[in-house]
Amino acid sequence: MSWNDKKIEQHCRAAKLLDEVKESTFKFVRNNHQISEYEVQAHIKDEFDKKGLVTDRDNAIVAFRENTGFVHYYPTADCKKLSPDTLIMIDLWARVDEDDAPFADITWMAYSGKEIDPLVQNTFVLVIKSRDAALKFIRKNLKKGKIPTGKEIDDVTRKVIATAGLADKFVHTTGHSLGFESPHGKEFGLNWKNEHPLIKNLAYTIEPGIYFEDKFGIRSEIDFYINDKLELIITTKVQKELIII
């Protein structure tokens, strides 16, 4: 189901506020070198409250080091603390506190240290390449007047990662529609089962990831929608490099 102009505006507002929370969170980590995953998660919740953002029953994903290798990792009070040469993943989702406002959903990666491990850097570059291939594919089809299917987009991101010999490390779908009660909407997403064209004026995520269990994982997540003019509108900022803490 397409969104009206109000819902698109609410989503874009939530996306802008999430980016502000992301920036605040990385600054918080930068200024607190002994911080734990749980404390970072609490900071994010405080920032949500300050900015009038609400979320579902789950808190943000904050993962350090090998915990980034778990797709949906939620820290507890007894969790990892920041240390030198730490890979960091934060996955944030929220909506503005208004009736029937839709969610925005982002994932960003950072690194606390002076020298990034080459395998981490190369994996990050591959994930970004996969994400950008999807964006290029969507734009190419829209210029021809065609809205691609969720399966077609999923095939594109998966092919990039499979070509590098890491098909089995991409363990979830490419993306999902955004909802109102949770970040996951009810409409078909960007996955191998969806042979329907994407719905205009409805926001989706693109979030390819590569996960080496018990070692590390990389994910990049952005939001977008296709408007009535068949234009691709990206509603979140797009990560291009690892954030250095």
Query: What are the boundaries of each domain within the chain?
Result: 5-244
Residue 8, token pair as written in the block: 């698109």
Give the other-Cβ count within 10 Å of 78's Cβ: 7
Residue 103, token pair as written in the block: 């969610």
Q: What is the chain's pLDDT, residue by residue, as a tens digit (245 residues)?
A: 899 999 999 999 999 999 999 999 999 999 998 899 999 999 999 999 999 999 997 789 999 999 999 998 988 888 889 998 999 999 999 999 999 999 999 999 999 998 999 999 999 999 999 999 999 999 999 999 999 999 999 999 999 999 999 999 999 999 999 999 999 999 999 999 999 999 999 999 999 999 999 999 999 999 999 999 999 999 999 999 999 99
CA distance 190 to 70: 21
Q: Does 3.30.470.20 match the CATH number of domain 5-244?
A: no
The H or E element that residue 244 is part of is: strand 243-244
- pTM for the model stands at 0.96
Q: Is the dihedral of CA 219, 224, 230, 231 positive or negative?
A: negative
88 within 8 A of 75, measured Cβ to Cβ: no
